[in-house]
Amino acid sequence: MTKLKNRTYVGIADAHGIESFFLEEKIDNHTLNVLHIRVMANRHRHACLYKAELTQAAADVVQSKLNEDDMSGALEVLKKVATTIHVPRDQHKSFSLIPNSVLDPWSP
């Protein structure tokens, strides 16, 4: 019996939840650099670049929330079910505070 391997997902999360959710093996260095630039341009929203290891079942739940436009719920699920989550050290505090749309200074 073969054990299913966890897969790694990367993307951006901010005060409103998950903005992007990509299978790491499907993105190139250019895309990763663009994600990093978007995070730096949106730090006022507590934007963070995350890398999370998930089972396929967990990834399906996160993707389902995103398909329902529930970005906040998707981030809450990701935080609960990920085997591991890595964010850059300077973004740890922000990641611990999100999702929380009140933290976005531009949010109505």
- The whole-angstrom separation of Cα 56 and Cα 8 is 10
Kindly state the average pLDDT of the residues 24-31: 96
- The whole-angstrom separation of Cα 80 and Cα 16 is 17
Cis peptide before 99 (omega within 30 of 0): yes
Q: What is the pLDDT of residue 30?
A: 97
Tokens matching residue 65: 């929330």
Q: What is the pLDDT of residue 108?
A: 72
Q: What is the pLDDT of residue 106?
A: 86
Q: How many residues in the chain?
A: 108
**pTM here?**
0.92
Backbone angles phi, psi at 22, to 5 degrees: -120, 140
- The whole-angstrom separation of Cα 1 and Cα 6 is 16
Q: What is the pLDDT of residue 40?
A: 97
Asked if the model's pLDDT at residue 107 lies above 90, the reply is no
Q: What is the pLDDT of residues 61-100, one digit of tens each?
A: 999 999 999 999 999 999 999 999 999 999 999 999 999 9
